[in-house]
Amino acid sequence: MPEHRSRKDAARNREAVLAAADALFARRGSAEDVTTAEVAAEAGVGKGTLFRAFGDRAGLLRALYEARLAPVREAVESGPPPLGPATPPRERVPALLDAVLCFKLDNRRLVVALEESANGSASPYQASHYEWLHRLLRDVLEQIPGTPGSDFTAHALLAATRADLVEHLAGREGVPRETLRAQLADFTAGLLD
Amino acid sequence: MPEHRSRKDAARNREAVLAAADALFARRGSAEDVTTAEVAAEAGVGKGTLFRAFGDRAGLLRALYEARLAPVREAVESGPPPLGPATPPRERVPALLDAVLCFKLDNRRLVVALEESANGSASPYQASHYEWLHRLLRDVLEQIPGTPGSDFTAHALLAATRADLVEHLAGREGVPRETLRAQLADFTAGLLD
DNA sequence: GACGATACGGACTGAGGGTCCGTTTTGCAA
DNA sequence: TTGCAAAACGGACCCTCAGTCCGTATCGTC
């Protein structure tokens, strides 16, 4: 069904680059100081190939991100409660935020790099995954009676899970994972009364 | 009484660079695509001078930011209510957040550039002005009975005024200033019940 | 097995942040 | 005033990277 099936070598190289990037980002602390040249080398591929496959550095980051996010998306869109669509709104909101927080905790380095690489104005807010998440959260909030300004509230709640904030608290200040989760849960709960 | 009074030419050039940067950032839309070379040229000064005065690009941004923030700081630390220290906590929290929001609305471009220029990990969260603001907000929150996790809450509230979010809403989506202020106020109010 | 289409790869370019160092200015002191 | 060391100047220079270009190699189809 695909319009243009891509050539076998292209597909293989795309995977190789993705895997190489993943490995390199893991090996180094941060995705920040891994260059495209290094990724290409690690993948045993020329830079041209990398750029043809992903467009630019941000494209590579995005692809990796998307790959890691897929399970979460799956769980949210068609999984069982408390994440899936069958969950009552009042419980789904904290569950969603907790899932986002955990995801960011697990993928701190990558997410920081991605949120920052989107230079120019309005950085992470036009990424498709942000749009998706925001729309979803807003719609769920809307189903809770007495919630004013669900659009802004959704933004504000998501802002509380911003990658660099998470990195600051969990990384720099050493706040334990569970503490952070509890605090976010408290914060969310405080809002939904 | 100053330990090391800086030389007159140094002081003059420092001001010139600051003014030039201010002018250039205003003329261009964004601080993002103004280079250090341009700023130096506009100030009629060599690049070396710029770097000696501010350390690096981020230092220049920071200095400009600090200069613009000074009035707010003043109003918060020793001004009259509703910003000053004499204000009862319950009213001061929303006033503080509103002030921050207005500041970011007025200085969008610069603040976006600053929050992003702090590359590497834990970007804007170790800037001294963030520390100051966070500590202040946390302490004020602490004085409101029944507020759990004031430290995290302060972070989360400040996150709702993140420069790129503000830029996204006010700039990209065209949400009017007053609407945004009202939404933030609602959000804050919802939390303080 | 041949030929057009597609992909490869790495040398190359351009941009921009930051440094270096010979020259100039400053300000103190004789 | 003049002398002089310390401080500041400035712009050529360097380096790192993202991203491009184009001659060569590979694919897959007829």
Q: Give the CA-trace dihedral at B58, B64, B65, B69, to 10 degrees.
A: 160
Share of chain B above pLDDT 70, in %: 95
Shortest distance, CA B103 to any CA of chain A (angstroms): 17
Predicted confidence band of residue A1 (pLDDT cuts 50, 70, 90)? very low
Q: Between A and B, how many CB-CB pairs are < 8 A?
A: 112
Chain-chain contact of A32 with B121 (C-beta, under 8 angstroms): yes
Distance B123 CA to D19 C1' (A): 26
pTM: predicted TM-score of the whole model, two decimal places: 0.92
For tokens 């507020």, what's the residue? B147
Mutate to test the interface with B, among A164, A172, A193 (most CBs of B within 10 A): A164
Q: How much is the average pLDDT of A114-136?
A: 81
User: A193: which 2 tokens?
Assistant: 């009364």
Q: Is the pLDDT of residue A169 over 90?
A: yes
Q: Is the pLDDT of residue A89 over 60?
A: yes
Shortest distance, CA B144 to any CA of chain A (angstroms): 14
Chain-chain contact of A183 with B152 (C-beta, under 8 angstroms): yes
Distance A165 CA to D24 C1' (A): 48
Q: Is the pLDDT of residue A134 over 60?
A: yes
Q: Which residues of A touch B119 (CB under 8 A)?
A: 32, 116
Closest by alpha carbon to A65, among A22, A126, A95? A22
Q: Is the pLDDT of residue B8 over 50?
A: yes
Please check whether strand D approaches the CB of A7 to within 7 Å: yes
pLDDT in tens, A17-67: 999 999 999 898 788 889 999 999 999 999 999 999 999 999 999 999 999
Q: How much is the average pLDDT of A92-116?
A: 92
For tokens 């003059």, what's the residue? B12
User: B53: which 2 tokens?
Assistant: 């005065």
pLDDT at A121: 55
Closest by alpha carbon to A139, among A85, A98, A185? A85
Name the more confident of B35 and B31: B35
Predicted confidence band of residue B1 (pLDDT cuts 50, 70, 90)? very low
pLDDT in tens, B115-173: 777 665 557 888 889 999 999 999 999 999 988 899 999 999 999 999 989 999 998 89
Domain limits, CATH 1.10.10, in chain B: 1-55
Give the DSSP per-residue string, B132-191. HHHHHHHHHHHTSTT---HHHHHHHHHHTT-HHHHIIIIIIS---HHHHHHHHHHHHHHH
Shortest distance, CA B160 to any CA of chain A (angstroms): 5
- How far, rounded to the nearest angstrom, does the alpha carbon of residue A145 sit from its chain's CA centroid? 29
Q: Which residues of A touch B114 (CB under 8 A)?
A: none
Q: Is the pLDDT of residue B111 over 90?
A: no
> Which CATH topology does A56-192 take?
Tetracycline Repressor; domain 2 (1.10.357)
CATH classification number, A1-55, choose in 3.40.50, 1.10.10, 1.10.1870, 3.10.360: 1.10.10
Q: Using CA atoms, how far apart are residues B176 and B96, in angstroms rounded to an integer?
A: 20
pLDDT at B6: 86
pLDDT at B30: 82
Q: Which residues of B touch A190 (CB under 8 A)?
A: 148, 153, 191
Domain limits, CATH 1.10.357.10, in chain A: 56-192
pLDDT at A120: 57
